[in-house]
Amino acid sequence: MTEQPNAERKLVSGMLDGEERAFSEFFDDYFPRIYRFALPRLGGDPDACKEVVQTTLIKAMRNLASWRREAALFTWVCQICRREIVDHLRTVKRHAGHVVLVEDSAEMREVFESIAAPAAQGPMQLHSAAEMRRLIQSVLDRLPARYGDVLEWKYVEGDSVEQIGERLGIGHTAAQSMLARARTAFRDALETVFDATAHDLLSGLRGGE
């Protein structure tokens, strides 16, 4: 999968060159994902989340030129966010028991970070239906290049391919092709993270209720 690093490189380069369109693309794509990344780790505190995410993205802007592409751009921003969360919790000492999510374990982090280029398979113990839903949403957030948005618009919000194309400013064929790539990436990611197919997960979710 070499397409994604190139897209990220182009995005960062456009931002460093002062292209407004590149900034909008970055913010619209990354801000909601980082927000969702931070919120559960801050015990669901929206004020803390706002402060931490703002600081994270400002630091990301400040250090954009130092992004070395060893990690996916989202992983890099998440690393900044993790440090901000730790600093915040240390300062307020509000959450005595630091919030640790299942995807924060070393094993799961490795698996999540490999989503952009699936490689090693990691066994996944099944969790409650609610936890499964949250993990599947985390998988959507970790997919590259707005694939998560495209899948959600199509299958949850019910947008047509034309509407998706309009939302992204691309033509029908490009939108259809992106949707196909998004489905493949999502299916691969599910197998990487859960060691299970969409069919298995669906059965698990339905059976868990």
Q: Where do contacts with other proteins occur on this chain (CB under 8 A)? A: 15-18, 23, 27, 31-32, 35-36, 39, 46, 50, 53-55, 57-58, 61-62, 64-65, 133, 136-137, 140-141, 148, 151-152, 154-161, 176, 179-180, 183, 186-187, 197-199, 201-202, 205-206
C-alpha 105/C-alpha 161 separation (Å) is 37
CB of 62 to other proteins, least distance (A): 6
Query: Closest distance between other proteins and the C-beta of residue 55, in Å?
Result: 5
How many CB atoms are located within 10 Å of the residue 97 CB? Answer: 6
Give 72 or 154: the residue with its C-beta nearer to other proteins: 154
Say which amino acid occupies 52: V
Q: Which is nearer to other proteins, 30 or 106 (CB)?
A: 30
CA neighbor of 78 nearest in space, from 126, 41, 133: 41
Choice between 2 and 191, CB closer to other proteins: 191
Nearest to 108 by CA among 78, 77, 84: 78
Smallest gap from Cβ 151 to other proteins, in A, equals: 6
* Distances 41 to 143, 156, 160, 161, 197 between C-alpha atoms, Å: 20, 25, 34, 34, 28
- Which residue matches tokens 């690393």? 79
Q: How far is the CB of 5 from other proteins (least distance, A)?
A: 21
Q: How far is the CB of 114 from other proteins (least distance, A)?
A: 20
Q: Which is nearer to other proteins, 2 or 91 (CB)?
A: 91
Closer residue to other proteins in complex, CB, 2/204: 204
CA 184 to chain centre: 16
DSSP for 24-41, written as a single string: HHHHHHHHHHHHHHHHHH
